[in-house]
Amino acid sequence: MEKFSFSKNARLMGRFDCREPEKPVAAWVNSAVFLTFEGEELWMRAEDSDGQDYVEIILDGIARNWIGLEKGTHDYRIEANVPEGIHTLEIHKKTELLMGRITFLDFYLPKGGRFLEPPRGNSLKLEYFGDSITNGCGIGHPHEAEHTPSLDNGYMSYAALSARMLSADYHTIAISGIGVLQDAMGNINGLPVHFHGVQGYGTPDWDFSQYIADGVIINLGQNDYSTPISDDRYVEEYVAFIEDILRQYPNAYVFCCVGTMNDNYLPSVQWVTEHFRNAGNEKVFLVDLGLILPEVEGWGSGAHPGYQTHYRMAQDLAAFISEKTGWPLRKRPGRTGR
């Protein structure tokens, strides 16, 4: 049985902790492993920290299945009865950082086969910053259903969909309940402090040279404005966050989104984008994604957007980005890495 090597046979998308290169650790939603193989049956060995993570399985560009991971180290049959030929496989973490961390340990072909060089990535690179909406939380739940991680799905969030519509690789840095300045409970607890860590504040520094984003999408403010807040402090923190991002990605376009659970922070985000325009930066934009249309789109759980709203958000966002940048746009999400 051929021995799999992450350094040789895998491509990673997302901020993985690779201090042990043959044991990459994924925490952020949409972190993904890509590989190419020949073989009838494929298995994965992985260790999950909490037993609440789920992964999406993509074979030859088609979302085939998802599985829940058990706490600890276990082996999982990913694909069986695979047709002859060369195939690509993607494993996407569909649950967010708060659900746990996955350590990928091995892939193997028990019935024979071989691993080849992994599929190439896309030249266009995007990075998304957000909260539960960006994580795809509640996306598959009826409005009254109790939350369960199995029905959260970052792979089908507006972030992942819009990136695939633009044929881009994408990193997603998002934490439920968080904002730019404060969280949904009014605590001073914003996402900017997590920007420099591999997997957030208090983790090793991320090496920004590994991934230079061409476009940055920020959707933060819904939690900030769910409790009383100082507009001036929010704007000040938001401006400082974009300045920090642009120090790492000086040529990036920045798209500041508003919506879809509320839009009461729209004027403040307008002030943010006007600040950069007045300073001579014409590559920072406001994107109004509107509100959920429940009579047409339905709801996810906890008043979150469901699948239809995310798809509409993705279409609107990708079209706006394409218009402002000239980057080609697909009418439907394309296959990652193709």
DSSP assignment of 87-112 equals EEEEEEE-S-GGG--EEEEEEE-TT-
Q: How far apart are CA 75 and CA 77, in angstroms?
A: 7
Mean pLDDT of 130-152: 88
Quote the percentage of the chain above a pLDDT of 90.
90
Residues of the chain with CATH 3.40.50.1110: 124-325
Which helix (H) or strand (E) covers residue 328, if one does?
none
pLDDT of amino acid 338: 40
In this predicted structure, the answer to whether residue 333 has a pLDDT above a threshold of 70 is no
Say if CB 299 and CB 143 are below 8 A apart.
yes
Question: What are the start-end ranges of the E strands in 237-304?
Answer: 253-258, 284-288
Q: How far apart are CA 113 and CA 1, in angstroms?
A: 8
Q: How far apart are CA 177 and CA 83, in angstroms?
A: 43
Say if CB 66 and CB 26 are below 8 A apart.
no
Tokens at 93, concatenated? 């973490």
Q: How far apart are CA 123 and CA 121, in angstroms?
A: 7
Q: How far apart are CA 280 and CA 267, in angstroms?
A: 20
pLDDT digits (tens, 9 = 90+) for 92-133: 999 999 999 999 999 999 999 999 999 999 999 999 999 999
pLDDT digits (tens, 9 = 90+) for 229-276: 999 999 999 999 999 999 999 999 999 999 999 999 999 999 999 999
Residues of the chain with CATH 2.60.120.260: 6-116
CB atoms within 10 A of CB 3: 9
Burial label, 196 (beta-carbon count in 10 A; 0-12, 13-18, 19+): middle
Q: How far apart are CA 144 and CA 133, in angstroms?
A: 17
Q: How far apart are CA 259 and CA 265, in angstroms?
A: 9
Question: For domain 6-116, is the CATH number 2.60.120.260?
Answer: yes
In this predicted structure, the answer to whether residue 68 has a pLDDT above a threshold of 50 is yes
Residue 150 pLDDT grade (very low, low, confident, very high; cuts 50, 70, 90): confident
Mean pLDDT of 51-60: 97
Q: How far apart are CA 244 and CA 273, in angstroms?
A: 15
Question: What are the start-end ranges of the E strands in 19-163?
Answer: 25-26, 32-39, 42-48, 54-59, 62-68, 72-79, 87-93, 102-108, 113-116, 124-130
In this predicted structure, the answer to whether residue 36 has a pLDDT above a threshold of 90 is yes
Q: Which of 304, 32, 327 has the alpha carbon at shortest distance from 158?
A: 304
**CATH number, domain 124-325:** 3.40.50.1110
In this predicted structure, the answer to whether residue 165 has a pLDDT above a threshold of 90 is yes
CB atoms within 10 A of CB 165: 24
